[in-house]
Amino acid sequence: MDWLQKFMYGRHGPDQLSLGLIVLSLILSVINSFLRGPASVIVMLLCTAGMVLSLWRMFSRNHEKRWAENQKFVAATQPVLRFFRQLHSRWKDRKTYRYYHCPKCRATLRVPRGRGKISIKCPVCKNEFIKKA
């Protein structure tokens, strides 16, 4: 394994964009197994191009350009990932907490379940409203 460490020295290595390209290529490969004809060839070319591009990025020695490309990718995918993380968190907390939106500023508020009617004070705009928890 020493030869691999020597080979990879000074190279960019894997990052979020490279891993995203690999995952996309694997998804396209699964989709390709259900296709026939010219569509199958096109999807397979896209799959191969994604893998080659990912490997090219990993073995690149131009750190600045690969870092800038990765930053753009992370900035573009962050809102989507944040939405799914928040959805997962809400699903985990569904038995112990209830989520409400402030009617004034639309901030998301989390209150404990099982308290009956409670007065909720928004920490952002200080608006107070009554809801059933």
Using alpha carbons, list the distances in angstroms from residue 123 to 8, 82, 117, 120.
50, 22, 19, 9
| 29 vs 52: CA distance, rounded Å | 14
- Per-residue pLDDT of the chain (133 residues), as tens digits, is 788 888 888 888 899 999 999 999 999 999 999 999 999 999 999 999 999 999 999 999 999 999 999 999 999 999 999 999 999 999 999 999 999 999 999 999 999 999 999 999 999 999 999 999 8
Residue ranges covered by each domain of the chain: 1-85, 93-133
- Which residue reads 């390709």 in tokens? 32
| 118 vs 95: CA distance, rounded Å | 17
